[in-house]
Amino acid sequence: MSMRVALLLSVLVVLAAGCSVALNQQPTPVPSEVSALEPVTIGLQRDADVPDLPFADNPDPSACGIPAPWHGDDAQIEGTFQGQLIEPTVYLYDSHQRLHITGAVPSGTEVQVELYQANPVLDFYYVRADTPAGPQTGWVPAPFLLFQH
């Protein structure tokens, strides 16, 4: 019986200690008004060398799809948009947020597509290219990718 009392007292001491710490902490402030329509500012910043795109980008970096495996199709990087060569060298990025450049390939480079990410405005593909400078990998905006059928 004394073992049960000792165990019960131990549990009560642990609970009391945990509750007293929680009671002495400052409460987390709650915003007075929250709107689901307001975009969330995450505090992420693009590197200075990340260029603007000639087409619409995703306005909310937190509203993105989940990357899904692609069929490993061959495709070609094309730096053209609306029939004009915009990017003779197309950059590959760390994600759909385009915070960092992870590689660069000349327009016309053959790539293997490994992943696809559907997003609200601009879809992205994760590609791999074998270049004379070594393998290049990263996410490329869908308008810069031409599938070979």
pTM score above 0.85: no
Q: DSSP assignment of the chain, as one string? A: -HHHHHHHHHHHHHHHHHHHHHHHSPPPP--S---TTSPPP------TTPPPPSS---S-TTS-PPPEE----EEEE--EETTEE--SEEEEESSTT--SEEEEEETT-EEEEEEEE--SS--EEEEEEEETTEEEEEEEEGGGEEE--
**Residue 64: HSE in the Cβ half-sphere, 13 Å Cα cutoff:** 19
The share of the chain scoring above pLDDT 70, in percent, equals: 70
Instruction: Return the pLDDT at 34.
Output: 44
Among candidates 79, 37, 77, which has minimal Cα distance to 59?
37
Q: pLDDT tens digits, residue range 56-108?
A: 998 887 788 899 999 878 999 999 999 999 999 999 999 999 999 999 999 99
Higher per-residue pLDDT: 29 or 65: 65
For each of the domains in the chain, give its residue range(s) and CATH number, in order of start.
Answer: 68-147 (2.30.30)
Instruction: Return the pLDDT at 44.
Output: 76
- The residue type of 108 is G
Higher per-residue pLDDT: 40 or 145: 145
